[in-house]
Structure 1
Amino acid sequence: MVMLQRCILKRILQQFYPGNQESTKCLLSRFPTALLDGHGAVGHRSKSSLPDVVREQTLIAVKPDGVQRRLVGQIIQRFEQRGFKLVGLKMLQVSEDLLSQHYCEMRTKPFYPRLLHYMTSGPVVVMVWEGHKVVETSRMMVGHTNPAEAQAGTVRGDFSHHISRNVVHASDSLEGAQREIQLWFQRKELLNWDCCDQTNTYEA
């Protein structure tokens, strides 16, 4: 398939550079094999060319109150405008088993039954975002756990009214993000793709 595509491309280039085999050969050699084979297009599964420091990932979940209040779009918009790349997204009714693993450190807390009731009261929208220092930045964007202490401009500062209904969850560390992403997503559900503006966003 690749050889056929190269032959077609060669014929097209020869029309633009008639009699100039050197120019045709040079341009053809620069044309990426991955793109010829259809793997380099935006939106297809591909191997990202970004360095690992830029490909840090975090888990963001819009909790049932955020979904009920139709805030999903506004929350997604904030992360997109910040320049982060969405690599995983799904909506689900969370099981108590999944929540018990996610909140494993809180299972002995007195408020845990109320937390389970809250998190199973409606659907959750869970996402994986990728970018430079995305874990640390996302925590700042989301704001303090207690909305009363969250600054204006943060998700909780703008949308939440009480600590029991704080709209959104964000991973608190790199290790926590890795654990949570593996818990909520299968590997095949995460897309490894190159965003069209990444060179303007991350490269000097």
Structure 2
Amino acid sequence: MERTFIALKPDTLQRGLVGDIINRFEKKGFQLLGLKLVQPPRELVEKHYEEHLGRPFYEGLVNYMTSGPIVASVWQGKNIISSSRSLLGATDPSKAAPGTIRGDLATQVGRNLVHASDSPVNAEREISLWFAAKEIQNWSRSLEPWINEEN
């Protein structure tokens, strides 16, 4: 099983879409392992987005991500990183397919509702930035055989 970090950005909370988005991840069959509402400090957001340092949008992104609370979460599932990014849709909502979170709900690139890890390496890095090991729950679902085939 693969793990990923998902952050519901300030616009998600302001627009009352937290439940809708979490519901889509649950309906997809992904397992929630960690969840918290946090007002992120600037230093954490800068560390999270450090690969974008120097790009024209960096300062606006950091200011936006620190402008209000976010929902930080850890999810698990088979191929969850690529699957969750498909579930989100293109970063630019105007290019996101209907049926995706951004295609259905987001308005513009700077208000695209959700961040999702883009690789296993970044997922582990992001999870460790936002969560202490004791905040991640390892639990078994009784529905697991109905969601994932054994291999």
Identify the TM-score tier after normalising by the shorter chain: over 0.9
How many equivalent residue pairs?
150
Matched-pair identity in %: 49
Give 1:73's match in structure 2, choosing from 1, 15, 19.
19
The answer to which structure has the higher strand fraction is 2
The secondary structure found in structure 1 opposite 2:134 is helix
Q: Is the aligned partner of 1:115 residue 2:71? A: no
| Paired residues for 1:1-204 under 5 Å | 55-204=1-150
- Structure 1, unmatched stretches of 5+, are 1-54
SS at match of 2:121: helix
CA distance in 2, matches of 1:153, 1:203: 25
Tell me: higher relative CO, structure 1 or 2? Use CA pairs within 8 A at least 6 residues apart.
2
Secondary structure of 1:138's counterpart equals helix
Name the aligned partner's letter for residue 83 of structure 2.
T
Higher-Rg structure is: 1
Give per-residue Cα distances to partners, 1:9-57, cap 9 Å, x unaligned: xxxxxxxxxxxxxxxxxxxxxxxxxxxxxxxxxxxxxxxxxxxxxx210
Q: TM-score, normalised by structure 2?
A: 0.96
Structure 2 residue runs without a partner (length 5+): none
TM-score normalised by the chain length of structure 1:
0.72
Deviation at 1:161, TM superposition (A): 1.0
CA distance in 1, matches of 2:145, 2:59: 47
Query: Runs in 1 of length 4+ with deviation above 3 angstroms?
Result: none
